[in-house]
Amino acid sequence: MATIGDNELKNRFSLCDEEIKQLHIDSQAYESGEWPEGETVVVGRPSLFGSRMKSITYRDTEDEVRRMDGRAESLSMSRSDYLRYLVRKDLEG
């Protein structure tokens, strides 16, 4: 993994000496497992369902996909939300 030196942090990101010093302190805490609970920044879209999502795929005919998309649109849903709804409805019995 490439590292960025202090001079590059100053020039590229306009950080001052105090900010760079704090970055070093924070990175050492993180690398030693001492990062405070609740201070980790999660990058990306927040979870819609309270847990990690896993992508699944399957293939269908173009006609069926068009029908799915039409039905999803009529319900103001995305295709994924529509299919997720159908699967959950079936699994709940």
Angle at which helix 17-31 crosses helix 6-13, to 10 degrees, equals 120
- Tell me: the pLDDT tens digits for 6-61? 998 888 888 889 998 998 888 888 888 887 776 667 677 777 777 778 889 999 99
Query: Domain containing 13: what range?
Result: 1-40
Q: Is the pLDDT of residue 69 over 90?
A: yes
- Domain count within the chain: 2
Q: What is residue 79's predicted lDDT score, i.e. its pLDDT?
A: 95
- For the question of whether the overall pTM of this predicted structure is more than 0.75, the answer is no
| Domain shared by 67 and 36, yes or no | no
Q: Is residue 1 domain-resident?
A: yes
Q: Is residue 31 domain-resident?
A: yes
Q: Is residue 51 domain-resident?
A: no
| Burial (CB count <10 Å: 0-12, 13-18, 19+), residue 10 | middle
| Domain shared by 1 and 35, yes or no | yes
Q: Is residue 50 domain-resident?
A: no
